[in-house]
Structure 1
Amino acid sequence: MEMRHLRYFVALADCLSFTRAAERVHVTQSTLSHQIRQLEDELGQPLFERIGKKVVTTEAGELLRGFAARALREVDQGVALLKPAAGSLTGEVRIGATHTFNIGLIPECVALSLARHPTVRITVEELAAEVIAARLVAGELDLGISYRPADPTGLWFEPLYNEEMVLVVSTAHPLAERKRIRMVELHRQALVLLSRTFSTRTMLEECFRAAGCEPTVVAQMSTVAPMLGLVARTMIGSIVAINAVPGGMPGLKVIPLESPTPIRTPGILWRLGETRPAVVQSFAVILRKTALGNSLRREGPG
């Protein structure tokens, strides 16, 4: 089966006339008829039947029509993005992102997208993961950047990369000179963590239990920036995603964790069963490439 077979089939299914369908796809009626017969032979069943002078789709033809039309739309949108005229892409992209990704990844992707498509309009909202999921399902966002939701109903999660969580302390902290820290060594260490409403906190507590340690959680907050501000001013540590620590923030030391190493998997959240506009697909391509590039740079050679 070739792409032209689907184009001829969809044209005839739409027009229900060999004359009009042939004009639409710019071939002769005999060519159109021959191509339709080839498709029917390959599928092993008729897709059209003649009733008097009229052409109608069979049950099989009507079933195939929706899938074929959708496949052609997807291919045409993809091809359009590759053409030089793609610079004229326009429209709106509505994005929901958790705080971690709004620090560096999202600004970088928005800048790249606007440089490539200056007429595109992008709206980014910093939201909690559960709010992103709910608004995607409601059709109020085009895509989300978050971690895998606890309730994925109505959503599809596309993983981007694996992200280590690290211990962050002030440069004056007793652990600041360490190259790595085992989780068990955090027993009774004073920490500030995200509150228990976050899935990250649940995952960290599972790691603590696996290591057999109970840190002293002296403070809980809902965003990372004030947590890091507290760490920089005190002897209190924190555990955050490595991407959440700004490179230029003075007074902080990042230390890898092991036994076990807490790992999160960021990804794109999509609403199931939705046809994505070209402008949204274009942003997703930039997001995937940027996320992968950043991840490879962090891992380094080898």
Structure 2
Amino acid sequence: MELRQLKYFLKAKELLNFTEAARVLNISQSTLSQQIKQLENELDVPLFNRIGKRITLTEAGNLFSEYALQSIHRANEGFLLLQDLKNLNTGKITIGVIYSMRIPFAKTLIQFATHYPNIKIQVVFGTTKDLLEKLNLHQFDFVLTFHEKAKESHLNYHPLLSSNMVLVTAKKSSLAQKSMLSLNEVAKLPLALPFSGYSTIQFFEEVFSQKNLNPNICMEINDIPTLFEIVKTGQWHTILSDTSINDPDVVAIPIKGKNMRRTIMIISLKEAYEKKAVKKLYELLTTN
């Protein structure tokens, strides 16, 4: 059953004349008759009584016309909805973001929402592991995260920005005036680090291990704002990406080492349809 057949049927019902209906539809009468006959064969019931050159609607035709009209209306509504989606007048984007990206991403988010106020945006913060798992379950349009492991063939990877790993300490700390620290120095400090599952702690566990260092990890906390509050006491320090630092009471000290710079990626599923709204957000992310 095709929409054009329903349109042909409804026009013939309206005019009760195949010749006139064909003229209005700008098709031949034989085409109209053939399409309506195919529709009747598919439904296995006649829709019109044919009496010479006259036609009348059967009981089945009268009942079916209501549903045919609803189908046409719903299809038109769907077309208008898709046009709105294409023109960014409607739609929804769901994004997974690591905490380290909250500051730069917030700026882009405000800009996007200002330009496209009719697009609903859902942002979920989480660990790299959790975000990638949810992406694979099609729960996100894309995620923003660090990714140092081998690339998976079913995912798209687009480098977004590079970020330095830094020691975060209180502004009142004796370390605050340091211009740089070595990994050896960092390992000896009392550290409060993100909880297992955060890519930052996984990264530094590997880095410390490569240097045969045993860092003094006193706390693991799965909430970054709480980490900042701990650090502000001056008794503990943490390690984060420099993109996540935006607090006047702490300072970020670079850590020596060629591997202390990491890349944040835009990661999406290759097989997933890429919405126009998502493409526009990509553009803003890469130009900011």
| TM-score of the superposed pair, with normalisation by structure 1 | 0.61
Aligned to 1:270: 268
Letter in 1 for 2:207: C
The answer (yes or no) to whether the contact 2:162–2:264 under 8 Å persists in 1 is: yes
Partner of 1:283: 281
Cα 1:167–1:261 change in 2 (3 A) is: farther
| 2:128–2:197 Cα contact (<8 Å) kept | no
Distance 1:174 1:265, change over 3 A: same
Q: 1:130 to 1:197 in 2, by over 3 A?
A: closer
Asked if the contact 2:88/2:277 (under 8 Å) is kept, the reply is no
**Letter aligned with residue 232 of structure 1:** K
Q: Deviations over 1:17-48 (max 9, x none)?
A: xxxxxxxxxxxxxxxxxxxxxxxxxxxxxxxx
The amino acid that maps onto 2:238 is S
Contact 2:192–2:219 (Cα < 8 Å) also in 1: yes
Indicate whether 1:202 and 2:202 are aligned: yes
Structure 1 consecutive aligned stretches of length 4 or more whose deviation exceeds 6 Å: none
- Does the 8 Å CA contact 1:143/1:271 hold for their aligned counterparts? yes
| Secondary structure in 1 matching 2:201 | helix
> Structure 1: how far apart are the matches of 2:137 and 2:148?
15
Tell me which amino acid in the other structure corresponds to 2:277.
Answer: V
Match of 1:258 among 235, 256, 259: 256
| TM-superposition CA deviations, 1:253-277 (whole Å, max 9, x none) | 2111103552221111101222311
Equivalent in the alignment of 1:235: 235
Structure 1, unpaired ranges of 5+: 1-79, 81-85, 291-302
- CA drift at 1:190: 0.8
Aligned length: 203
Instruction: Report the equivalent of 2:164.
Output: 164
TM-score normalised according to structure 2 size: 0.64
* 2:142 is the alignment partner of 1:143: yes
- Displacement of 1:188 after TM fit? 2.1
Superposed CA deviations along residues 117-158 of structure 1, whole A, max 9, x for unmatched, are 222221111222222212222222111111227584632222
RMSD, aligned CA: 2.3
Q: 8 Å contact 1:163–1:263 — kept in the other structure? A: yes
Distance 1:177 1:258, change over 3 A: same
Change (3 A) 1:89 1:288: farther
Q: Flag structure 2 segments of 5+ consecutive residues without an equivalent.
A: 1-82
CA spacing shift, 1:196–1:126, aligned 2, 3 Å: closer
Name which one, 1 or 2, has greater alpha-carbon Rg.
2
Letter in 2 for 1:110: L
CA contact 1:224–1:240 (8 Å) conserved in 2? no
Output the CA distance in 1 between the equivalents of 2:257 and 2:98. Answer: 27
Give the % identical residues: 18
